[in-house]
Amino acid sequence: MVYPNGVKALDRVNINIDRGEFVFMVGESGAGKSTIIKLLCREFLPSSGSIRMFGRDIARFRRREVPMLRRSIGVVFQDFRLLTNRTVYDNVAFALQVIGASSREIRKRVPDALEMVGLTEKAHMKPLELSGGQQQRVCLARAIVNQPLLIIADEPTGNLDPKTSLGIIDTLRSINIRGTTVVMATHDKEVVDQMRQRVIALHAGQVIRDQRGGAYTYHGV
């Protein structure tokens, strides 16, 4: 991936992630983690190569096929991106409304998603009435309410204290155990070291380590 200004963000990156895996992407700022996430969400197209998801090269998708792809992906951001003037319930329901889900489906799926992240009792509160960790759980509920095949998390614990961060990761792990693939970009060494999942380390746009059961660092890398 080369940006219009000539910056090479990714160089000869070749990664294969199986369904049901939990993968951490680590590396310093500018290593290429966010670029990979944007390519997976098809916000960008690669300068060369292919990105195969669910058996198809998404770089070759027609414009009208992209919304269908994104329905199979749940995304969790560091900065929450919640609608502050709407309730927790409405924030989660909105993710279904934009894809045309029926009222009946919304009434069933939203409570299920809120229960999964432990926010049933907060359904009628506004985001700004919640703690940072609770707001991130709303983001998780919004990401999983459509029952995606893949969850992509971009620094989801970046603004949270260590204890709250581990709670968010435990929730992601529970979702993963149910069969959803999770790919998480993070700088959170404590979380990565405790989870011991697959770790893909990037540096200057290249993969320098791909280790199962890995830690954040390995022989200084």
Query: What value does the mean pLDDT take over residues 199-218?
Result: 93
Strand partners, 150: 73, 181
Please indicate, yes or no, whether residues 62 and 155 belong to a single structural domain of this protein: yes
Res. 54 pLDDT band, cuts 50 70 90: confident
Q: Are 149 and 19 in contact (CB under 8 A)?
A: yes
**Whole-number Cα distances in Å, 39 to 66, 87, 89, 146, 176:** 12, 31, 30, 21, 22
Decide if 77 is inside a domain: no
pLDDT tens track for 175-192: 999 899 999 999 989 899
Give the DSSP letter of residue 177: H
The number of domains in the chain is 2
Instruction: Write phi, then psi, for 63 (nearest 5 degrees).
Output: -55, -40
What domain range is 129 assigned to?
83-147
Query: How many other CB atoms are found less than 10 A from the CB of residue 133?
Result: 16
pTM for this prediction:
0.89
Domain boundary among 130, 147, 164: 147
Span 7-30, average pLDDT? 94
Q: Is residue 119 part of a domain?
A: yes
Q: In the structure, what pLDDT confidence band is assigned to residue 80 with cuts at 50, 70 and 90?
A: confident
**Domain check: are 160 and 127 in the same one?**
no
pLDDT at 78 over 80: no
Question: Could you give phi then psi for residue 29, rounded to 5 degrees?
Answer: -60, 135
Last-in-domain residue among 147, 179, 194: 147
Query: The domain that contains 18 carries what CATH number?
Result: 3.40.50.300
Q: Does residue 115 lie in a domain region?
A: yes
Q: Are residues 67 and 168 in the same domain?
A: yes
Cβ atoms of 141 and 92 within 8 Å: the answer is yes
pLDDT band, residue 163 (cuts 50/70/90): confident
Residue 126 has pLDDT above 70, yes or no: yes
158 in the same domain as 135: no
Strands across the sheet with 150-154, in order?
Answer: 73-77, 150-154, 181-185, 22-26, 198-203, 206-211
**Pair 143, 154 in one domain:** no
Evaluate whether residue 41 is within a structural domain: yes
Predicted local distance difference test score (pLDDT) of residue 220: 54
Does a structural domain hold residue 78? Answer: no
For residue 219, what pLDDT is reported?
62
Q: Which of 92, 125, 147 is the last residue of a domain?
A: 147
93-116 pLDDT tens trace: 998 998 888 999 999 999 999 998
